[in-house]
Structure 1
C-alpha cells in the first residue's frame, strides 16, 4: 500500500507548515497527486522569493531545480511540467501577507512512474536569502 509522510525542518523559517493533506489516498499510479499545504507566514513574503526543489527516487536524483516562487504561483494550474503550485486564496502577483497561507501542489504520476520511494526536498528563501521553509515530503507507491 502506498504511504506518505512529511517533515518540516524549517522551524526558524518565515513560513511554518502546520499540515499537509494528500489525495487520492491511497496513492496509486497513474494519478494526479494533490497536496493541500496549510501554514503560517510569520512575516510578509516578498516578490523575489525562490524555491530549490530536489526529487529523488531512492538514491537517484531525478530533478534539481531552482524556481521563482511567485512565477510558479502565477503559472498555477497552467504551468507546464510535472508539478504545479497555486495559492488557494490571494493574488500570486502580490506579496503574501503575514498570516494563514494555503497552497495546492499538484504532481502528475504517470503509468511510467516506477514503484518505490520518492523524496521531494523543498528549500525556500526570501529575496534576501533568509530561510523561508525547509520541507521534505516522502511517498512510497509500492
Structure 2
C-alpha cells in the first residue's frame, strides 16, 4: 500500500504538481544525467506501526525518461485501516517544491497494488512501476514522508534523497 505512494512520490518529485510539466524550463536545454546516488532512511520510531525494511529501485540509479520500479518491504505491527494517510514534502535543496497529503489506501486502490486496506499485521512486499519524466532537472531532491494512522497517530517516517546532479559513472566488475 505504501509503495504505491512512494512510487507516485518519485514521479511527483521531479515535476510540477498537477501539471506534470518540467520544474525548470532551462533544464530542457541542459543535458540530463542519471542519478549516481540515492538513499533512504527510516526516521520513524521503533514503536511505529509500520517499519520499512528495504527499498529497492530498478534501474538503480533511477534514470530520467525511463520506467522506475520500486519494491518496498516492510512490516505492519498492527492493522492499517482506511483513513491512513501520508504527508509528503519534496525539497530541491532547501526550497520546498511540493507538499501533498496522500490517502495511502486510496493510492493503493488507484495503483491496483497487491496489498489493500485494511492491511493485516505481518511482513509485506509491494512492487510498483512509474514512468519518470525525462525533463528531471539536474538537482538533489529530498523527499520527506510522514505517515499517520486513521487515528492520526504516527505510522512511519521516511527520508529519501535522490541526486541527479552528479555525472554518470562507469561501473566495472
- With the shorter chain as reference, the TM-score category is 0.7 to 0.9
1:121 maps to which of 144, 148, 173: 144
| Unaligned residue ranges in structure 1 (runs of 5+) | 78-85
Alignment of 1:40-119 (within 5 A): 40-76=75-111, 86=113, 89-90=114-115, 92=116, 94-119=117-142
Task: Assess, with a 3 A threshold, how the Cα gap between structure 1 residues 53 and 104 changes in structure 2: closer, same or farther.
Answer: farther
Shift of 1:59: 1.6
Deviates more, 1:48-57 or 1:106-115: 106-115
Task: Assess, with a 3 A threshold, how the Cα gap between structure 1 residues 14 and 97 changes in structure 2: closer, same or farther.
Answer: same
CA distance in 2, matches of 1:136, 1:107: 19
CA distance in 2, matches of 1:57, 1:104: 26
| Unaligned residue ranges in structure 2 (runs of 5+) | 1-34, 167-173
**Superposition RMSD on alpha carbons, in Å?**
1.7
Q: Does 1:30 align with 2:65?
A: yes
CA distance in 1, matches of 2:51, 2:131: 26
Shift of 1:105: 4.7
CA distance in 2, matches of 1:7, 1:117: 16
**1:138 aligns to what?**
161
CA distance in 1, matches of 2:127, 2:86: 15
Deviations 1:40-96 (A, max 9, x none): 00111111101101111212212100121111110006xxxxxxxx3xx33x2x300
Whether the 8 Å CA contact 1:123–1:135 is kept in 2: the answer is yes
Please report the TM-score for the alignment, with normalisation by the length of structure 2. 0.69
Whether the 8 Å CA contact 1:2–1:28 is kept in 2: the answer is no
Whether the 8 Å CA contact 2:49–2:78 is kept in 1: the answer is yes
